[in-house]
């Protein structure tokens, strides 16, 4: 069963799932894999491996991600740099940036920028590690492990001081924030932000290491548990927003554990952190090969935590040494048999279903399940919307947004989002058929 979603941009409508051939003017997404923005019928759509995913997509091709790249902003950034270079306008430099505030020093502090002879602060709106890297570079400091801070981490700027900049939207490799997409600077500064949101940076010379990460919580052990990270001497948890197997692999590597079958867990699977404990990391954006999460893009660490997250969303990991096998997969439901049925997976001793959210469960995923069951993979097919009935209401929905290539021996080798797909319900339980000769 195929379900199509209509996406409308400025002057065009396309169907999600439609194949596009006119991939000219494709703008690669630096935060994505195989995804580009493509000019199409007067607008822009996100195309991943030739298939339309929507107007905006994240690194996995999911439409309408919380963190997206706007094509017009990217183009404006380029135009702005070209105009500045053409007009001979000097960018802001080292003498126009300084670090100040409580706990500040040569390598960290509240960021203050001088514009038209007046010093002001930066609003933490959309401020992240990429912006921090550019500011560290401007100061002649190390950029490798640059960290962004929000919520006036280093104290608030003077109340008479303007807030000059917001929404910098740097890529991270610019030589000056003048080349980032920070828009028009108001004559009297930004009025829709407050000094309680002044941005700061740390230009660290060393990454977070093994001693800065620990696993704890209900059911935790040496290889699994709720992730807690120590930053500037204080332990905190990680919000599961955007947390997936890539971040889990990096954290397992930091702990000196196996990374091959790393699993990511959300929704406080290993219990909630202490109510007095901060949540300092969210939207980690690792590629999976980093040696430390210090090398990953991430949102600004805020003294006031993240308003959209609480400890009910504490992230956890397991660094498994063995992949899930045949004993961990079964086919069930109405009309099921040994070759077809609703897919159920056993994780941590508990059986759960697989979500077909947004039609992300595909043939390549079905092929891997068939292979795990020792069945034919050539004619593997997918069934959506609980074709074989819904799983028991008390049963967990373990996996959502799987992205297998089709050649893996286990789903443990596939990319997936955090275990526990709470955004799903059993009406989206996925099913497969591994019948020989089935079309």
Q: Give domain 210-320's CATH number out of 2.40.50.140, 3.10.250.10, 3.60.21.10, 3.40.50.12780.
A: 3.10.250.10
Question: Residue 277: CA atoms inside 13 Å, Cβ hemisphere, count?
Answer: 22
Q: How deeply is 318 buried, as exposed, middle or buried, from its count of CB atoms within 10 A (0-12, 13-18, 19+)?
A: buried
Q: Looking at residue 304, what is its pLDDT?
A: 56
Low-confidence ranges of the chain (pLDDT < 70): 1-89, 182-187, 303-307, 420-422, 437-439
Q: Looking at residue 48, what is its pLDDT?
A: 52
Q: Looking at residue 5, what is its pLDDT?
A: 36
Q: Looking at residue 367, what is its pLDDT?
A: 95
pLDDT tens, position by position, 267-319: 899 999 999 999 988 888 899 999 999 999 888 887 655 567 899 999 999 99
Q: Give domain 326-433's CATH number out of 3.30.70.1380, 3.40.50.300, 3.10.250.10, 3.20.20.80.
A: 3.10.250.10
pLDDT tens, position by position, 185-224: 666 778 889 999 999 999 998 999 999 999 999 988 999 9
Q: Looking at residue 229, what is its pLDDT?
A: 96
Domains in the chain: boundaries: 5-69, 94-204, 210-320, 326-433
Q: Looking at residue 71, what is its pLDDT?
A: 43
Q: How far apart are CA 260 and CA 370, in angstroms?
A: 21
Q: Looking at residue 168, what is its pLDDT?
A: 87
Q: Looking at residue 421, what is its pLDDT?
A: 65
Q: How deeply is 187 buried, as exposed, middle or buried, from its count of CB atoms within 10 A (0-12, 13-18, 19+)?
A: exposed
Q: Which CATH architecture has domain 94-204?
A: Roll (3.10)
On the question of a common fold for 94-204 and 210-320, the answer reads: yes
Q: Looking at residue 47, what is its pLDDT?
A: 54
Q: How far apart are CA 364 and CA 377, in angstroms?
A: 9
Q: Looking at residue 43, what DSSP letter applies?
A: E
Q: Looking at residue 192, what is its pLDDT?
A: 86
């Amino acid at each position: 069963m195929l379900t199509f979603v209509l996406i409308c941009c400025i002057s065009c409508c396309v169907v999600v799932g439609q194949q596009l051939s006119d991939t000219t003017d494709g703008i690669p997404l630096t935060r994505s894999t195989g995804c580009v923005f493509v000019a199409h019928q007067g607008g822009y759509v996100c195309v991943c491996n030739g298939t339309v995913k929507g107007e905006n997509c994240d690194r996995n091709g999911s439409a309408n991600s919380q963190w997206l790249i706007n094509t017009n902003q990217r183009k404006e950034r380029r135009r702005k740099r070209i105009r500045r270079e053409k007009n001979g306008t000097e960018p802001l430099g080292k003498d126009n940036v300084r670090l100040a505030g409580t706990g500040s020093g040569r390598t960290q502090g509240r960021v203050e920028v001088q514009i038209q002879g007046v010093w002001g602060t930066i609003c933490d709106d959309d401020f992240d590690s990429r912006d921090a890297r550019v500011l560290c570079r401007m100061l002649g400091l190390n950029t490798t492990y640059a960290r962004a801070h929000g919520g006036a981490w280093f104290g608030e700027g003077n109340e008479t001081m303007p807030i000059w900049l917001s929404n910098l939207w740097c890529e991270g490799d610019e030589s000056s924030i003048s080349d980032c997409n920070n828009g028009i600077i108001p004559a009297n500064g930004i009025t829709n932000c407050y000094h309680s949101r002044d941005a700061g940076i740390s230009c660290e010379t060393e990454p977070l290491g093994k001693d800065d990460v620990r696993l704890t919580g209900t059911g935790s052990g040496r290889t699994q548990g709720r992730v807690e990270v120590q930053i500037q001497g204080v332990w905190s948890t990680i919000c599961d927003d955007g947390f997936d197997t890539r971040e889990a692999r990096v954290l397992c590597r930091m702990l000196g554990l196996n990374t091959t079958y790393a699993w990511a867990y959300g929704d406080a699977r290993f219990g909630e952190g202490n109510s007095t404990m901060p949540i300092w990391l969210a939207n980690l954006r690792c590629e999976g090969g980093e040696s430390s999460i210090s090398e990953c893009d991430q949102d600004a660490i805020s003294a006031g935590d993240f308003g959209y997250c609480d400890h009910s969303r504490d992230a956890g990991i397991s660094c498994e040494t063995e992949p899930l096998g045949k004993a961990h997969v079964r086919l069930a439901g109405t009309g099921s048999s040994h070759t077809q049925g609703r897919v159920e997976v056993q994780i941590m001793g508990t059986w759960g279903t697989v979500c077909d959210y947004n039609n992300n469960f595909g043939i390549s995923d079905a092929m891997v399940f068939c292979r795990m069951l020792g069945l034919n993979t050539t004619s593997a097919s997918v069934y959506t919307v609980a074709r074989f009935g819904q799983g028991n209401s008390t049963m967990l929905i373990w996996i959502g947004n799987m992205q297998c290539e089709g050649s893996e021996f286990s789903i443990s080798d596939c990319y997936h989002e955090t275990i526990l797909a709470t955004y799903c319900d059993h009406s989206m339980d996925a099913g497969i058929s591994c019948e020989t000769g089935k079309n």
